[in-house]
Structure 1
Amino acid sequence: MNSPLHRIATTLAVLSIAVLLVLSIVYLGDKSSGPLEDFFRGISGSVSRLEEDYILSKRSESRAKKLEWLAPIKQDASLLKKPSQLLLGTYDNQAIPSFQPIINLEDSLDTTFPIIHFYSAWGSKREQRFPIEAIRAISTLGSIPMVTWEPWLNDFSEDEIPFLKNKEDRDKNGLKDVSEGLYDTYLIRWAQEARDANTTILLRLGHEMNDPYRYPWGPQNNQANDFIAAWRHVVDLFRLEGASNVLWVWTPHLAYGYFEDYYPGKDYVDWIGTGTLNYGTVAPWSQWWSFDEIFARYYEELATYEKPILLAEFGSLAVGGNRAEWYSNALKEFPKRYPQVRALIFFHNKNDATTTYQALNWYFIDDTAILDAIKTQFHTW
């Protein structure tokens, strides 16, 4: 079965399926929504699974085998509500459509990430449906998927969501519309597919909701109580659909405070998340901050929620200081200094165009000084 001829035949079959998929989607366009779209998504998922199987087969030791200890947690989400150890993970913007860049980073750090993070937006576009291919691929690799789920309301079409406001008015009080059920058709389908994924999922919904400058679901458009009502409504829908495999990650922006005003309540939150990115001197509004300056002064307040803490975006740019030193100091005696932090997710983005006019590079896989600094601290834990 592993002969060269068999591998060539398999490769040609996969390529043929992929070509047919692309041609069909291009030809059908938006007409492919519904059952036909689901059919093609199924084919896409098959291609994805073949790809991940190929990656795994080429490794001397199966990545999934290294993470066998995680299997019970993947099948029982309740075990992840009080994890006994610090879990590492990463987001890598190059990991689409293949997760090979994440495996490369793991190899460079001599570790295996239990959590793989990616971003998904709300909307009616094909790529904004439930990301089943990515979820399956991450699960096949042995890890737990973490999804940052962003409520971009302007991407919905009236064909899917009746009675939508005009796009220019949709963000204003948009979360109130969410809480009142306007987007339930989309949310229920997402919940059903999340349930049927049959793996634990960390879902980071509407992050940095207290930031009045960046995202349309922030306080420039919505009241804090509307955020809470929308959050609870979404969680309740998932529970009604039996999606108990989904754990909810609430992630305020540290710098903008008012945490309590936006907290949905202990019965609606499983993890407390936060971003800890050092932008250095890349912009007039930023300066070189150590990790402790970014996070330490907020740790005690976050710990009062008595939930495990997750650092959803951990990283530093190079402009303005010594990055290797930044990572080394951040990770030094980390589990001892921050015992309630139970997950740390590297932000490994080579082309981040979400914050400044210029694309920012958070990549460090080619920087041996940073890799050595991180590995040195890992070995002391």
Structure 2
Amino acid sequence: MLLVIALGIGLFGLLLLAGNKGRGPLETLAGSVTSQVASFEKRLLSGDSRASRAAALAWFRPYRENKLYLNNTDTLLVGAYDNNTVESYERIVALEDSLALKLPIVQFYTAWGSKREQVFPMLRAQAISDLGSLPLITWEPWLNDFDPESFPRTGPADQVNVGGLRAIAAGRYDAYLDKWAQDAKAYGQPFFLRFGHEMNDAFRYPWGPQNNKPADFIAAWRHVVTRFRQQGATNATWVWSPHPAYPNYAEFYPGHAYVDWIGTTALNYGTVAPWSKWYTFSETLGNAYGELSTYGKPLMISEMGCLAVGGNRAAWFTEALTDLPLKFPKVKAVVFFNNSNDVTTTYKALDWSLNNDKATLAAIAQALKGWQLPKPAPAL
């Protein structure tokens, strides 16, 4: 423990020396030291829940360590995003306990930029792997946070996202991409990478069609994937995830050679806002499922959730999950959107979390029992 403390003090000194914008060898060294400290701490922390959880997910290990298994799964993988996992994974574990199921997938979000927290999230990915799960990283190309000295802008700062995908495709952010890819390669294990999600929605994110043409998105996607491959980061499993409410998917599809999985959202906002109403799960996914299935890729419901305003939440999940593998056989992963503080859509925070809703948790657990999970890895 004294060694850990000493290393921590040394790391703090390195970070101070590096400064807020330091991004050279010193920062790389500091990141390496941080990784080693975290690894050493994990070895010391015997008796916690890591070993038992990882043991319960032993069946998932082939998927977690080999992309061929992951991309050819014949079971249905379950996961969750929780907005509190920066601090700890206790809420994820509590959700698992309520569902009587260990979750193979743990999702989190990270933005592009020059800030320290916008580098490849090595420690978070490694922590998820140590728990026996696989990271699903939703990677959002916001371009506001790049240091203009390292990434010069061609126009006003408040217009940096206008035509941002063209700038990505033209190579303006290659230094960032290459470093991210190098760190992803160093991570060394497969992970889902959901880049530029909901690119066909003109009302949500700046990489949408209000600022870019579909051809710009395709060019940017292919450029990003190509840079990763050139750096040897072939462990990234690429998830293309359009918004199901806008049926112009084909205009944004980068091509079979650049996509591993197809993602889609299934979020019922109920009557929380004037523009929303209560939709069943079949209404949110059903219209999109047929077309998205034609791409021949495994499907992932990358954000699944229902608010409690305007209807029966437990009944919504019962309808959604009961016999889902039979009704939607192309769906190979379901990721619950367990977000207690969603501020991306309305002027007030929305609570999608399940942890305190006993009736809904019971309904989900009952439905999942019919899925016959888990299954061993398929023969390849």
CA offset digits 1:201-245 (Å, max 9, x no partner) = 110000000001111100001010010011011111111111111
2:29 pairs with 1:69: no
Equivalence for 2:48? 58
Aligned residues: percent identity? 48
Match of 2:246 among 240, 248, 256: 256
Q: In the alignment, is the contact (CA less than 8 A) between 2:80 and 2:338 conserved in 1?
A: yes
Equivalence for 1:284? 274
Equivalence for 2:295? 305
CA offset digits 1:11-68 (Å, max 9, x no partner) = x765665566557646753154322222332333345445656777323961111222
Distance in 2 between residues matched to 1:338 and 1:182, nearest whole Å: 41
Which range moves more in the overlay, 228-237 or 157-166?
A: 157-166
2:326 pairs with 1:336: yes
AA at the equivalent of 2:135? P
Give the RMSD, CA atoms, in angstroms: 2.0
Which range moves more in the overlay, 359-368 or 35-44?
A: 35-44
Equivalence for 1:89? 79
AA at the equivalent of 2:216? D
More helix by share: 1
2:138 pairs with 1:153: no
2:327 pairs with 1:327: no
Distance in 2 between residues matched to 1:67 and 1:242, nearest whole Å: 28
Give 5+ residue unaligned stretches, structure 1. Answer: 1-9
| SS in structure 1 at match of 2:263 | strand
TM-score normalised to structure 1 length = 0.92
Equivalence for 2:119? 129
The alpha carbon displacement at 1:78 in A equals 2.2
Distance in 2 between residues matched to 1:71 and 1:332, nearest whole Å: 27
Match of 2:205 among 210, 215, 220: 215
2:159 pairs with 1:169: yes
Match of 1:120 among 103, 107, 110: 110
Q: In the alignment, is the contact (CA less than 8 A) between 1:87 and 1:114 conserved in 2?
A: yes
| SS in structure 1 at match of 2:49 | coil
Count of residue pairs brought into register by the alignment = 371
Distance in 2 between residues matched to 1:56 and 1:320, nearest whole Å: 46
Q: Which has the higher contact order (CA 8 A, sep 6+)?
A: 2
| SS in structure 2 at match of 1:154 | coil
Match of 2:180 among 190, 195, 199: 190
Equivalence for 2:340? 350
- After TM superposition, the structure 1 = structure 2 runs for residues 260-271 of structure 1, keeping only pairs within 5 Å, are 260-271=250-261
TM-score normalised to structure 2 length = 0.92
Q: In the alignment, is the contact (CA less than 8 A) between 1:56 and 1:63 conserved in 2?
A: no
Distance in 2 between residues matched to 1:114 and 1:40, nearest whole Å: 30
AA at the equivalent of 1:284? P
Q: In the alignment, is the contact (CA less than 8 A) between 1:85 and 1:342 conserved in 2?
A: yes
Distance in 2 between residues matched to 1:206 and 1:30, nearest whole Å: 27
Q: In the alignment, is the contact (CA less than 8 A) between 1:204 and 1:251 conserved in 2?
A: yes
AA at the equivalent of 1:74? R
Distance in 1 between residues matched to 2:327 and 2:273, nearest whole Å: 30
